[in-house]
Amino acid sequence: EKHTNTILVFLYNIDQTRSYIYTSFRIMEVNGGEDHQYAESSEWFVKYLNRQGDWLEKTRGNLMVAATVIAGMSFQVMVNPPGGVWQSDNCSTGTLSVCKAKAGTSVLEHDSSKRGLYLGMVISSTVSFSASMSLILLVISGLRLRNRMIMAILVTFMVVAVLCMSAAFFFAVALVQSDDQIILYILIIYLGFWIVFPVLILVSQLVRFLG
């Protein structure tokens, strides 16, 4: 009986060892599959960045042209604002002469009912001009556009410049339009487009990246 118990214990230990070995191999297979998937994802991400870098290198001239055009548009909006400028000082006559506006300053700047729209146009144009000029400076500096950080900065500046220029157009049209309902509907559609379209581009890029 003692001999039989010894044999049973021995067989039990063999079975436990076999189960442990099988479980270990399964864990190794799962970890190996995860490492393989991670390696494939990393390799795809590197290839994606390389393709983006190649695209930026090939379109360096196009970036310069686009940034220059946007900078010129932003500059023109600021020096020639919607509604024009005062041709002469707007001063009240009397014992105390009070000037409401100076010659050469924007007419709509002093319109309290459209103050918010005017400030929005100024801010949008300033940001767009700054982003465009920064992009031009980076391109002509001779830095390698294949660098990931430089590539991210260039894309960010270009996106900001385009979106802010679109916002400046919206504010400029809203400044000079009356209470026409048709124009109001057009502006609402325009605003909705520039909210939805960038979101769709962002989602498509995320799907492309995750896929």
The tokens for 113 are: 């009912």
Taking only the tens place, the pLDDT of each residue in 95-132 is: 556 667 777 788 888 788 888 899 999 999 999 999 99
Q: Residue 94 has what pLDDT?
A: 59
d(CA 128, CA 124) in angstroms, rounded, equals 6
**Cβ–Cβ < 8 Å for 160, 128:** yes
Residue 51, pLDDT above cutoff 90: no
**Selection from 198, 155, 145, 171 nearest residue 67 by Cα:** 155
Q: What is the mean pLDDT of the chain?
A: 76
Q: Which residue matches tokens 């919206």? A: 170
Residue 179 three-state SS: coil
- Residues 136-140: contacts with CB within 8 Å, 24+ apart? 136/64, 136/67, 136/68, 136/71, 139/60, 139/63, 139/64, 139/67, 140/64
Instruction: Please give the helix or strand (H or E) that residue 91 lies within, else none.
Output: strand 90-91
> Would the pTM of this model clear 0.85, i.e. be above it?
no
Please determine, for residue 20, whether its predicted confidence score (pLDDT) is greater than 60.
Answer: no
Highest mean pLDDT among 34-43, 44-53, 70-79, 110-119: 70-79
Average pLDDT over residues 10-16: 54
